Amino acid sequence: MAHLSSDQIRRDRDRDEMHRAKQDALRQIGFSDVQQLEGGPVFGHRNNISVMIKHLSADGDTYWEVVMAAGDSGTRDLTVATRHEVVDKLQSIVFFD
């Protein structure tokens, strides 16, 4: 079971800084094996559910942020709830200048 969401965001931030903040956010809500592939997505695992956060360039400093969650069959509600929790956590990230 997989669940997908995408939101257009604008971040006038260094992409590495964004990825570090997203990795920290996943760890704060109990994800393990949180990593970022070289220049790629951030991903982590919790309760047999995997999440991946990918940024796709839209225009200049505007990106599509795609959050995907996948779990074992029979965990649809938990997979969807986990994805919502991750999106909520990501939306709560605040950068201070």
Q: How far is CA 49 from the centre of its chain?
A: 13
All structural domains of the chain with their residue ranges: 2-91
CB neighbour list of residue 53: distance below 8 Å, 6 or more residues apart: 22, 41, 42, 43, 65, 66, 67, 68, 86, 90
Please give the pLDDT value at position 88.
93
Which pLDDT does position 3 carry in this prediction? 45
How much is the pLDDT for 86?
94
pLDDT tens track of the chain, all 97 residues?
A: 444 455 555 554 567 788 888 999 999 999 999 999 877 899 999 989 999 998 877 777 677 888 999 988 677 889 999 999 999 999 888 776 5
User: 2, 70 in Cβ contact below 8 A?
Assistant: yes
Residues across the chain = 97
For domain 2-91, give the CATH number. Answer: 3.30.310.180
Which tokens in the block code for residue 88?
A: 């909520």
pLDDT of residue 9: 54
